[in-house]
């Protein structure tokens, strides 16, 4: 028996090792494990690789050249490589820095080839205007708790044996990403990032970048501002319908937009002063995906300038440190800026505005007031300190890295506010903001009761003017419908006006739901992270 047992143990070891190496077992998350700094080596056969890649980039082409790529010791042949980025490429190249951003595609030349964990694409950013090295990874860590968002960590990059330094390694928003979050990837999909050097086509109205303004029914007018990633016949028509209803018939917006997901994104951008986004002057850096139920959902992207790394809100000159620290939760809405319809049109709706404020308050309490952000940031600083010192091509000084949490630092000629310097003052400002003062509704208990072929939902809520049940029956890829609940003597509640709100519906299995209590100024949700988190009736 002992020889057989030894053989069995060896066979098991070989099998497990094979699963790790193939990306089908624990390697699934190691490419983006925050505790792990990935080592990536790119080896080109040709000596003129930089000239070719730069020429393609300057021509606005996305062609690639092949290279061997080694990730943590595992070799991949014929990987497609190109440069990526806009400001992070051209501004860095202008000053002859070696540390340029890369995009690697595993199956560019070999069908079906995947990186460890089954990933198709690796996107490596160079930390442009981020002396901390961690703005992007911190932002994604927060975002993933409230909305679909990429995984990210750091990587050491070598090209033809030369160490280029420490990069941000961010999960691509692609078909694999869509499948993971929505169980679907076959619908209309757009990257909302204008072609910066392209001119609007003759005869087309102007749009303020990818702002979702309605500029007519001609798809060609939108192609300058939105990059179609899908290839369905009526993709452009669906995007135009979204723009039309948002601007002209906002009362129908829930027909074409996952409003709650949009409110989470807007609250996130505002809290973290992430102005290199839909919210800021350039109005870009997000994706739109049309869910199977016909509604678009936004997906955040590119956050190296989060936490005040970009100072332009699109309402005049750049903001001072104090203006960023005291950025109004009603930016653009207060000015009734029609160039930001996703903000102004949604926040004009009383319920949407109260839910937006509830989301803002939840993130403020859970991430900032709790001390969690500072704890995570300090942990990252400690983890990468030695690697930053060793980075031979870092864009900014080691001293700037050391000071980048507590004080203003220089990134070239740009003044970058410290992460903690911004957020400590921001939490003090928002905590005292009038909209968060006074009594807010509270949800104390929620339950779903089954009576034969009927489901009764009940919520005990105080301080609420109205209470809503949000539910769905088809799972990921479908948005929640909303129905009003009642505080009366029905719905298995014996007393009216006792703070117990209820609603009934025919029994269905696998109902997912959450509760919204609407107060005078602000709403309350249960669970607080709804609709990203929710309750379930089996």
Q: What is the per-residue pLDDT across 375-434, written as a single tens digit (0 to 9) for each?
A: 999 999 999 999 999 999 999 999 999 999 999 999 999 999 999 999 999 999 999 999
Residue 5 included in any domain: no
Residue 411 included in any domain: no
Average pLDDT taken over every residue of the chain: 93
CA distance 254 to 245: 9
Share of the chain above pLDDT 70, in %: 93
Whether the predicted pLDDT of 537 surpasses 50: yes
On whether both 214 and 310 belong to a single domain, the answer is yes
Whether the predicted pLDDT of 146 surpasses 80: yes
Question: Comparing 475 with 1, which gets the higher pLDDT?
Answer: 475
CA distance 288 to 296: 6
Whether the predicted pLDDT of 11 surpasses 60: no
On whether both 325 and 239 belong to a single domain, the answer is yes
Write down the residue that tokens 């030369």 correspond to.
162
Whether the predicted pLDDT of 14 surpasses 70: no
pLDDT value at residue 13: 41
Q: What mean pLDDT comes out for the span 451-476?
A: 95
Q: What is the CATH number of the domain that holds 477?
A: 2.60.40.10
Classify 331 as helix, strand or coil. coil
Whether the predicted pLDDT of 373 surpasses 50: yes
On whether both 204 and 322 belong to a single domain, the answer is yes
Under 8 Å CB-to-CB from 7, ≥6 apart: which residues?
none
Q: How confident is the model at residue 494 (pLDDT cuts 50, 70, 90)?
A: low
Q: What tokens does 421 get?
A: 């310097």
Q: What mean pLDDT comes out for the span 257-262?
A: 98
Q: What mean pLDDT comes out for the span 490-500?
A: 76
On whether both 169 and 254 belong to a single domain, the answer is no
End residue of a domain, out of 366, 390, 423:
366
On whether both 167 and 234 belong to a single domain, the answer is no
Whether the predicted pLDDT of 490 surpasses 80: no
Query: What is the widest separation between alpha-carbon atoms in the chain?
Result: 83
End residue of a domain, out of 343, 366, 389:
366
pLDDT value at residue 488: 83
pLDDT value at residue 179: 96
Residue 56 included in any domain: yes
Residue 131 included in any domain: yes
On whether both 171 and 186 belong to a single domain, the answer is no
Residue 95 included in any domain: yes
Residue 389 included in any domain: no
pLDDT value at residue 300: 98
CA distance 160 to 278: 38
DSSP of 91-150, one letter per residue? Answer: HHHHTT-S---EEEETTSSSTT--BTTTBSEEEEE--TT-TTS-HHHHHHHHHTTTS---
pLDDT value at residue 492: 65
**Sheet of 227-228, strand order:** 227-228, 189-192, 286-290, 296-300
Domain count, the chain: 3
Distance of CA 365 to the CA centre of its chain: 19
On whether both 104 and 205 belong to a single domain, the answer is no
pLDDT value at residue 135: 98
pLDDT value at residue 195: 81
Look up the domain containing 472 and give its range.
442-537
| pLDDT tens digit sequence for 168-183 | 999 999 999 999 999 9
Residue 339 included in any domain: yes
Whether the predicted pLDDT of 20 surpasses 50: no
Distance of CA 536 to the CA centre of its chain: 25
| pLDDT tens digit sequence for 279-334 | 999 999 999 999 999 999 999 999 999 999 999 999 999 999 999 999 999 999 99
pLDDT value at residue 18: 43
Q: How confident is the model at residue 255 (pLDDT cuts 50, 70, 90)?
A: very high
On whether both 188 and 165 belong to a single domain, the answer is no
Whether the predicted pLDDT of 4 surpasses 80: no
pLDDT value at residue 200: 82
Q: How confident is the model at residue 5 (pLDDT cuts 50, 70, 90)?
A: very low
Q: What mean pLDDT comes out for the span 467-493?
A: 89
Q: Where is average pLDDT lowest: 66-70, 110-114, 497-501?
A: 497-501
On whether both 165 and 281 belong to a single domain, the answer is no
Residue 99 included in any domain: yes
Q: What mean pLDDT comes out for the span 13-32?
A: 49
On whether both 283 and 337 belong to a single domain, the answer is yes
Q: What mean pLDDT comes out for the span 327-348?
A: 98
Whether the predicted pLDDT of 136 surpasses 70: yes
Classify 446 as helix, strand or coil. strand
Cβ–Cβ under 8 Å, residues 507 and 454 = yes
Q: What mean pLDDT comes out for the span 464-480?
A: 95
pLDDT value at residue 491: 66
CA distance 153 to 35: 8
End residue of a domain, out of 340, 366, 392:
366
On whether both 169 and 221 belong to a single domain, the answer is no
3-state SS of the chain: helix, strand, coil percent to 5? Answer: 30, 25, 45
Closest of 127, 108, 131, 122 to residue 151, by C-alpha: 122
On whether both 131 and 222 belong to a single domain, the answer is no
């Amino acid at each position: 028996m002992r020889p057989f047992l030894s053989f069995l143990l060896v066979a098991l070891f070989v099998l497990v090792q094979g699963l790790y190496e193939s990306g089908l077992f624990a390697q699934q998350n190691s490419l983006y494990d925050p505790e792990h700094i990935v080592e990536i080596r790119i080896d080109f056969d040709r000596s003129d690789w930089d000239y070719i890649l730069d020429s393609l980039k300057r021509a606005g082409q996305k062609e690639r050249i092949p290279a061997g790529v080694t990730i943590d010791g595992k070799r991949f042949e014929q990987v497609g490589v190109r440069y990526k980025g806009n400001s992070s490429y051209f501004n860095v190249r202008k000053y002859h820095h070696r540390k340029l951003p890369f995009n690697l595609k595993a199956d560019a030349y070999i069908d079906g080839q995947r990186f460890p964990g089954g990933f198709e694409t690796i996107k490596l950013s160079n930390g442009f205007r981020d002396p901390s090295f961690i703005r992007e990874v911190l932002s994604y860590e927060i975002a993933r708790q409230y909305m679909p968002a990429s995984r990210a960590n750091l990587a050491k990059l070598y090209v033809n044996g030369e160490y280029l330094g420490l990069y941000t390694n961010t999960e691509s928003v692609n078909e694999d990403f869509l499948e993971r979050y929505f169980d679907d990837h076959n619908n209309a999909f757009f990257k909302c990032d204008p072609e910066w050097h392209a001119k609007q086509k003759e005869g087309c109205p102007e749009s303020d970048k990818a702002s979702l303004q309605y500029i007519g029914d001609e798809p060609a007018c939108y192609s300058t501002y939105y990059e179609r990633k899908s290839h369905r016949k009526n993709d452009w028509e669906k995007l135009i319908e979204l723009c039309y209803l948002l601007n002209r018939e906002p009362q129908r917006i829930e027909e074409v937009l996952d409003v709650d997901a949009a409110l989470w994104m807007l609250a996130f951008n505002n809290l973290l002063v992430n102005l290199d986004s839909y919210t800021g002057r350039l109005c870009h850096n997000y994706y739109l995906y049309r869910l199977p139920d016909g509604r678009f959902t936004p997906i955040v992207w590119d956050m190296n300038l989060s936490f005040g790394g970009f100072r332009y809100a699109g309402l005049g000159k750049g903001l001072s440190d104090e203006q960023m620290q005291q950025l109004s939760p009603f930016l653009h809405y207060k000015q009734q800026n029609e160039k930001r319809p996703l903000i102004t049109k949604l926040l004009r709706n009383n319920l949407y505005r109260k839910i937006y404020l509830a989301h803002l308050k939840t993130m403020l309490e859970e991430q900032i007031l709790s001390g969690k952000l500072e704890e995570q940031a300090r942990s990252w600083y400690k983890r990468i300190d030695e690697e930053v010192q060793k980075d031979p091509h870092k864009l900014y000084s080691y001293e700037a890295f050391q000071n980048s949490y507590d004080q203003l630092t220089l990134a070239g000629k740009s003044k970058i506010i410290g992460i903690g310097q911004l957020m400590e003052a921001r939490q003090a400002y928002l905590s005292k903001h009038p909209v968060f003062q006074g009594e807010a509704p509270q949800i104390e208990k929620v339950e779903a009761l089954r009576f034969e072929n009927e489901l009764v939902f009940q919520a005990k809520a105080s301080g609420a003017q109205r209470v809503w049940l949000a539910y769905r029956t088809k799972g990921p890829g479908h948005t929640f419908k909303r129905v009003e609940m009642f505080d009366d003597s029905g719905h298995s509640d014996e007393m009216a006006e006792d703070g117990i709100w209820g609603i009934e519906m025919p029994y269905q299995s696998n109902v997912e739901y959450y509760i919204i209590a609407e107060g005078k100024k602000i709403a309350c949700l249960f669970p607080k992270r709804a609709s990203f988190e929710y309750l379930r009736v089996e």
